[in-house]
Structure formats: structure tokens, C-alpha cells
């Protein structure tokens, strides 16, 4: 093997090594961005759930006047349905994102 062939062989290794390093860096970057997206999704789901529950609590306090009226069961049913809907939606979103 001539010196020229030897240099070409080593330069090929360097090129392949840098390609592998670039692939590893890209993979790491993608993993970090997935992790970041997952964190954002968790924050968004938690925040949305809290806001929705606060709205339901406000509705519950705003309809206390109807407690002794025929409308009470309707309001109670709406509130219970709303709570279950929010809980199921948040759990489904967490499951979709695989957030514990």
C-alpha cells in the first residue's frame, strides 16, 4: 500500500467518523426536542385541566341559587358531566403523550 493509498484510507475513516458523530448529535438533538415537546405537552395538559376545573367550580358556585329549585338536578348533572369530561380528556391526552 502506497503512502497516498494509506492517507486516502484514513481520510475515509475520518469522514465516516464525522458522519457518525453528526448522526449521534442529530439523534441527541431530536431526543431533546421530543423531551421538550413532552414537557410542554404535560404543562399544557395540566394547565388546561386546572382552567377547565376552575370554570366548572365557578359554574357550580354560580348555580347555587338553584339548589332548591327544579333546575338543580340539571345543573348538578352538567357539573358532574363537565368534571368527568375534563378528567377523561386530560387522561386521554396524557396517555397519548405517554405522560405519567
- Whether pLDDT at 1 is above 70: no
pLDDT of 42 reads 93
pLDDT of 5 reads 53
- Whether pLDDT at 81 is above 60: yes
pLDDT of 45 reads 96
Residues 27, 21: Cα–Cα separation, whole Å: 10
pLDDT of 33 reads 80
Name the band, by pLDDT with cuts 50, 70 and 90, for residue 72: very high
Rounded to two decimals, the pTM is 0.67
Query: Taking a C-beta distance cutoff of 8 angstroms, is the pair 86, 45 a contact?
Result: no
pLDDT of 29 reads 73
SS3 sequence of the chain:
CCHHHHHHHHHHHHHHHHHHHHHHHHHHHHHHHHHHHHHHHHHHHHHHHHHHHHHHHHHHHHCHHHCCCCCHHHHHHHHHHHHHHHHHHHHHHHHHHCCC
Mean of pLDDT values over 10-30: 68
Residue 91: phi, psi to the nearest 5?
Answer: -65, -40
Amino acid at each position: 500500500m502506497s503512502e497516498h493509498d494509506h492517507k486516502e484510507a484514513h481520510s475515509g475513516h475520518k469522514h465516516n467518523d464525522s458522519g457518525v458523530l453528526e448522526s449521534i448529535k442529530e439523534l441527541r438533538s431530536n431526543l431533546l426536542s421530543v423531551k421538550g415537546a413532552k414537557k410542554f405537552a404535560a404543562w399544557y395538559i395540566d394547565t388546561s385541566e386546572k382552567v377547565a376545573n376552575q370554570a366548572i367550580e365557578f359554574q357550580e358556585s354560580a348555580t347555587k341559587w338553584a339548589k332548591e329549585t327544579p333546575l338543580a338536578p340539571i345543573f348538578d348533572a352538567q357539573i358532574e358531566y363537565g368534571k368527568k369530561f375534563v378528567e377523561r380528556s386530560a387522561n386521554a391526552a396524557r396517555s397519548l403523550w405517554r405522560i405519567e
